[in-house]
Structures are given as C-alpha cells and as structure tokens.
Amino acid sequence: MEQTRRAARRPTISDVATAAGVSRAAVSKVLRDAYGVSEEMRSRVHRAIEELDYRPSTAARALRGTTSTIGVMLPLFRTSFFDDVLAGAVEELETSSYQLILAPVDSAHASGRRALEALSDRQVDGIVALSPLVEPTWLESFATRTALVELGRHDPSARYDTVVGDDVRGAELVMEHLLALGHRRVLHVTHHDPDLAHLSRTPPALRRATYEKAMTNAGLAEHIEVLETSFDDRRAAEALRVALEAGSRPSAVFAGNDDAALGVLRTLAEAGGRHGLSPRTVSVCGYDDTKMASHPLIGLTSVDQDGAAMGRLATRMLLERIAGREQPRHEVIQPRLVVRSSSREVDPGA
Amino acid sequence: MEQTRRAARRPTISDVATAAGVSRAAVSKVLRDAYGVSEEMRSRVHRAIEELDYRPSTAARALRGTTSTIGVMLPLFRTSFFDDVLAGAVEELETSSYQLILAPVDSAHASGRRALEALSDRQVDGIVALSPLVEPTWLESFATRTALVELGRHDPSARYDTVVGDDVRGAELVMEHLLALGHRRVLHVTHHDPDLAHLSRTPPALRRATYEKAMTNAGLAEHIEVLETSFDDRRAAEALRVALEAGSRPSAVFAGNDDAALGVLRTLAEAGGRHGLSPRTVSVCGYDDTKMASHPLIGLTSVDQDGAAMGRLATRMLLERIAGREQPRHEVIQPRLVVRSSSREVDPGA
DNA sequence: CTGAAAGCGCTAACAC
DNA sequence: GTGTTAGCGCTTTCAG
C-alpha cells in the first residue's frame, strides 16, 4: 500500500459514493440513519466508509445546521472545583451523541466575551459557561443566538439558564460553625478583581457580605477583617503573610475558596510560628470541598457545593434548551458543610 | 430596537456586503487585510460589521482551508501536571492568531482515537495530544492528515513530533536520592492499566523499570516491591493500605507521580500508625512536582519536569509544523529533583 | 428506494 | 480598485 508523504486529502462523501457505486445523497442517508435505504446499500456504503477511513467533516455539517457539539467555557484559572464541573459535563454527555469542546480562558480577563464568541463561531449548538465578567445585557443578546447556561450567576435571566450554589447559605454555615467554636477574631479572605469590584452578587461578594453580616449580628463588627487578594494559593499566602506582619492575629480564618484556604495554611505553617500562630492553633475553613481538602495532612473544613452535580445539571439543562425549551430555568444548589481537622475551638490561651 | 424572541439568524458576509453597498469579495478582503481595498471601502465595511455585529463563521472558513485553531487533547484524568501543560500551550498561543480548543477525554480509555478524530473532524490545523493508548502505527497514519505533536512518547516518529521528559533520568534521580539516604526497603507505586500493560516505553513503565534496575544494582533485588495501582490519590492510598495489611514495611516509597504520592501520604497519615509507620518515618518521593507537592503541610520531594515548558515547546513545534516543517522533531526535557520535607534518612530504629 | 441539484458562508482566482 | 464566480463537503427537498 502506497503511503504518500504529505497529507493525503481527506476522503469526502463523494469518494465514498464513488467507491460504493451510489450517490452522495445515499451515503448521507446511511450516515444519518435516515429513512429509505436498502439493507444492501447500507452495507455497501459501510464497507466503503471503512475502506476509505472516511469521516464526515463537522465544518461542512455545521454549514448546513447543527454540529452536535456543545461548548464549555471555564476560566483556565483552574481550581479543582472547575475540574469537577467539567467532569460532570463530560459524564452527562457520555450517554448523548454530543461532543464537547472546551475553550480555556487565559485569565479572569475580559476575554470571556471572546471565548464565548469563538465557541459560537464554531457553531456549537449550545454553551455552558462560567464567565462572571461578562455583563448580563451582553449575555442576553448573545443568548438569543446560542443556547446558554451560565454557572455562578445569582441573578436569573429571561434568555439563558443559570445554575448557582447558594453562597449565602454556604457562608452562613461556615460562620455559624466558627462562631459556635467560640471564635471572635475571624478573618475573611476574598477574591478581589478590579473588573469585578462593582458586582455585588458574585459568589465571592456574597460570601464576603454574609461574613460581614454574621460578624455584625454576633456583635463582632469591630473584628471584621477582610483580606482582598486572589483565590489562589500563593497570592492568598502572601496576603496573609503581610497581614500577620502588620499585626493581624485571627483565631479563625474563613477563606472564600479552598485554594485561598490552602494559601492560609501555607503561611500559617511557614511563617505563623513567628507570630505565635500555626495551622494547629488557627481554625481554617475553605469553600468548594476540593480534593485536597480531604487529604488528612490538610484536613480542611470546607463547603461542598458538588461541582460535578452542577456540571451535570447545567449540561442537562442545556440539552433541554437545545431541544427547544423556551422558559428559562434558574437552579440553586444547596451547599453542605464538611467539618475536618482544620476546625478547632478557639484557643483559650490566645 | 426590536428584540426578537428567538435566535435571530446570524448575519453573513452577504448581509455585511449589502449593508456596506459593496461585494462580498470586498468584505472578505477587508476581513483578511488582503491587498486591494481603498481606505474608504475599508471603513464603510468596518462600520457595517460593527452595526450588524457580524462575525465570520469558522465552519465556512474551515470548508475552504484552515481554521486558525489548534486542538489539545489531554486525559480528563487531570493531575495538575496536565494543567501546567495546558497553561503552557495557552500562553504560547497568546501571541499568535491561533485559537485553542480542548477535547477532554473521559478516562484513560481507548477513546483517545475518538477524541483525536473529533478534533480532526473539526478541521483544526494541528493537534497537541497526550494519548498513550493510541498505537504508533495508527498515529502515523493519522499524522499524515493532521499536524501532530505527541507528549510523553519516548519513541520518535517520522510523521509526528514528540516532547517527552527523561523518565529514566528522573527515576534515577529519585533512586539515587533515596539510596543515599540509606533506604533499602524502597517500595514503588506504579500506574497499571491493562490496556497499557504491553507497552514498555511509557513514562510509568520506564520509571518502574528504572526503579527495579537501581534496586538490583544496589544489591537490593530482594527488596523490590511494586504496587500496581492507579496514578490517583484514592486508589494509591487503598493499594498501600492493602499492602501494609499484608505485612509490607517500606522505609521509603517512590511513587510514580504526585497523585499517587499524595495517596501514599494519606494512608501513612490515616492508617500508618497501626503498623508503626507515619508520614514522618517513611520517606516519600513523587513525580511531576505539582502544586500540592510544594505545600508545607505536604512537602513532597518530587521530580520537576516543567509541564508548562513542555506545553509551550509542544505548541511551538506544532506551529512550526503547520508552517511547513517536514522533518520530525523529538525533544527530551531534563528533569530536576526537588527535595522537600518528605525526604528523610532511614529510621535507624526500624 | 435512489439520485440530481440547490445552497449553507466563505475565499480566491479572475475579469472588469 | 472592485465585482463575479466557482467551488469547499454536506444535507435536503424533490423528481424519478
């Protein structure tokens, strides 16, 4: 068999038709299991497909209609929570005939729009996205063209669906827990993004507001202390280091997500001693219950909002929408507190 | 402005042409910055594009030629090493005009072929893949149609490029380190996949073979003990638990990757005590130097093979190939041992 | 049950 | 400098 050096042209539906001695339309019908093909023809065509190693071109199909592909857009900024969401989406799609393509977004940058459009340019039949930076009005208009399910948005929309964790409830669970353990000097670590600063209903903003409210309600307003940093191990660690240097002495830390919590533990382990603190004397809580939280060497108390379930649900909703549903859906996932060894009663010596 | 309820048809190049009062070809030229358009026409066209919110269809372009998109295929089975690779690829593409789409692969399943084909069906201009399960012969033929760079393959190919870490050297670094610390009962944890069992040149297989050779060379052949499990926290933990139950008493563990190493630490922390072992008495080494390895609460000695650099390099090589390079390249990345607190001299009391 | 033909949105000759 | 036109590979009426 002759092996050409360079890129043998991909066989097309015409090649298959010729090889099988039938028309292109016939091949197309076999391909799509359409009505009206004789058994004999079907097998002839299948044989030709095998022989030529033919694969239909998605691009050509896209030009005519749908692609059987859904797009997922997640920040590359990946905490394992996003992995869980993605895994859920993949799982949900396994039983369907849909393909999944993923558009990674470099940073939390405004590139969210670009990524959504890129996906849409590729004629995906629908999109599951986590794009907090894109404005609702823009999304509304985008969603008139492409079926869309947004993750992490607390405000429902008439045009797209939403799946979101109950961040207020989750944060309440954490605060009730810490206050019940006797803590008064509870520090909160939040994700601060200048582009996001004007939004009050993002998950980080709601967790923070709930923290502040809980502190105030407990008569601890004077102990409110918020570290504005990033949901990122290194940055959160650095922020806490600076705060400790400046004299901050929390007995407990509520970190807005697990990555930040890991950073908190990092600093407590590395530099805490210098200030009389350590992972064993400070109670730390995270959010998302990522894989590392459950590691016994970490043992991080965290809020589980089941990313995989969110991914599955969002995908299922998207398929519904593609199938024609018009009424928007807004689903709120109930969080659950998972208590581990990083939780401890307030140190009486402090 | 009227807002239609359902999916307004996407504007096409013809709509733009009509709106701007020019021909479609003219619009196409403006779009592609082609030669031969007057300033005035250019601005008229741009204005029309703005107004209609026109975006060219990738599918239609694909039908004519290239898509300016490269595909990345990585096992979903994501250890953060893959994240690093992906981040490297994204970074490399930022300065180019290429888009990136990602095909997640459910498990280490034979679905690798499917994912590669799916990408190819979408007319990506090239692919960076990590697909150990796909046979070289199949890849060779696939690569005649689509530019391809494979990660983690030790055998060069004439048709596709390869980027791989020097697993033999990396494993040697680990073994030299452990033996120098005085360890004799060194256990190895490897990734065992029935579908992969016949391959002797995969990264896990080479790490394992190097372990066995190092043990033999050190006169410790009788202490060779290999746990065949998965490069996965939970599974590795379970495998070690069983081994300890069965009487295994290693003084050091060389885990084939960091996830497995985390599993080892998990079991040592949870169940080790029952057998007189703990994370503090057993020296543990991993591979990949993932983010968690550097956390002070983990402090895992590991082999850094710089996933981000691999991702960048692979992507750069792919672009070269797309640009026309014919000679295959095979690049080997040199690993580096990063020693942390999980390394310790052999416990004299044992 | 099968085939001919139109057209999806775009690009690239080529003609004007 | 600008417009016409012929496909790219596929699906889908509509005749035969």
Which pairing describes strands B99-105 and A336-338: parallel, antiparallel, or unpaired?
Answer: unpaired
Share of chain A above pLDDT 90, in %: 63
Measured in whole angstroms, the distance separating CA B88 from the mean position of its chain's CA atoms is 10
Share of chain B above pLDDT 70, in %: 94
Residue from the list B8, B83, B120 with its beta carbon closest to the beta carbon of A145: B8
Instruction: Using DSSP, state whether A92 is helix, strand or coil.
Output: helix
Whether B279 and chain A come into contact, CB under 8 Å, resolves to: yes
Q: What is the token pair recorded at B269?
A: 């922390």
What separation in angstroms does the CA of B235 have from each of B192, B260, B279, B298? 11, 8, 18, 18
Rg for chain A, CA atoms, rounded: 26
Instruction: Using DSSP, state whether B39 is helix, strand or coil.
Output: helix
Whether A7 and chain B come into contact, CB under 8 Å, resolves to: yes
**Chain D footprint bases within 7 A of protein beta carbons:** 1-5, 7-13
**Measured distance CA(B40)–CA(B51) in Å, rounded:** 17
What per-residue confidence (pLDDT) applies to B255? 98
Contacts with B339 (C-beta within 8 Å, 6 or more apart), sequence order? B177, B301
CA dihedral defined by B5, B9, B15, B19, rounded to 10 degrees? 10
Mean pLDDT over B90-110 rounds to 78
Task: Give residue for tokens 């670094």.
Answer: B173
Instruction: Using DSSP, state whether B105 is helix, strand or coil.
Output: strand
CA dihedral defined by B169, B174, B178, B181, rounded to 10 degrees? 80
Answer yes or no: are the C-beta atoms of B255 and B302 closer than 8 Å: no
DSSP A342: T
Q: What is the token pair recorded at A222?
A: 């004077």
Q: What's the predicted TM-score (pTM) here?
A: 0.90
**Measured distance CA(A269)–CA(A264) in Å, rounded:** 9
**Measured distance CA(B293)–CA(A184) in Å, rounded:** 33
Q: How confident is the model at residue A221 (pLDDT cuts 50, 70, 90)?
A: very high
Q: What is the token pair recorded at B144?
A: 């005649």
Whether B220 and chain A come into contact, CB under 8 Å, resolves to: no
Burial of A182 per CB tally in 10 Å (0-12, 13-18, 19+): middle
> In this structure, is the CB of residue B64 within 7 Å of any atom belonging to strand D?
yes
Q: What is the token pair recorded at A166?
A: 């109950």
**Element housing A318 (H / E):** helix A307-322
Measured in whole angstroms, the distance separating CA B154 from the mean position of its chain's CA atoms is 15
Domains of chain B by start residue, with CATH: 2-55 (1.10.260.40), 69-163+308-326 (3.40.50.2300), 167-306 (3.40.50.2300)
Q: Which residue has the higher pLDDT, B64 or A211?
A: A211
Residue from the list B118, B141, B295 with its beta carbon closest to the beta carbon of A266: B295
What per-residue confidence (pLDDT) applies to B76? 67
CA angle A86, B106, B197 (to 5 degrees): 145
What per-residue confidence (pLDDT) applies to B106? 61
**Measured distance CA(A245)–CA(B287) in Å, rounded:** 35
Q: How confident is the model at residue B312 (pLDDT cuts 50, 70, 90)?
A: very high
Residue from the list A60, A99, A233 with its beta carbon closest to the beta carbon of B63: A60
Residues B63, A76: C-beta atoms closer than 8 Å: no
**Measured distance CA(B119)–CA(A100) in Å, rounded:** 10
Q: Distance (Å) from CA B162 to C1' D8?
A: 32
The phi-psi region of residue B21 (left if phi > 0; otherwise alpha if psi is between -120 and 50; otherwise beta) is: left
Q: Distance (Å) from CA A42 to C1' C1?
A: 12
What per-residue confidence (pLDDT) applies to B6? 44
C-alpha closest to that of A196 among A228, A160, A156: A228
The phi-psi region of residue B299 (left if phi > 0; otherwise alpha if psi is between -120 and 50; otherwise beta) is: left
> In this structure, is the CB of residue B56 within 7 Å of any atom belonging to strand C?
yes
Mean pLDDT over B289-316 rounds to 96
**Measured distance CA(B82)–CA(B203) in Å, rounded:** 14
Answer yes or no: are the C-beta atoms of B119 and B71 closer than 8 Å: yes
Residues B104, A100: C-beta atoms closer than 8 Å: yes
C-alpha closest to that of B83 among A172, A21, A259, A176: A259
Residue from the list A78, A86, A121 with its beta carbon closest to the beta carbon of B58: A121
Whether A90 and chain B come into contact, CB under 8 Å, resolves to: yes
What separation in angstroms does the CA of B181 have from each of A85, B59, B186? 42, 59, 11
pLDDT tens digits, residue range B161-190?
999 999 999 999 999 999 999 999 999 999
**Measured distance CA(A185)–CA(A183) in Å, rounded:** 6
**Measured distance CA(A222)–CA(B136) in Å, rounded:** 66
What per-residue confidence (pLDDT) applies to A350? 54
pLDDT tens digits, residue range A242-273?
999 999 999 999 999 999 999 999 999 998 88
| A122 contact residues in B (CB cutoff 8 A) | 58-59, 69, 101, 122
Answer yes or no: are the C-beta atoms of B74 and B85 closer than 8 Å: yes
What per-residue confidence (pLDDT) applies to A229? 96
Residues B102, A104: C-beta atoms closer than 8 Å: yes
Q: What is the token pair recorded at B254?
A: 């060389």
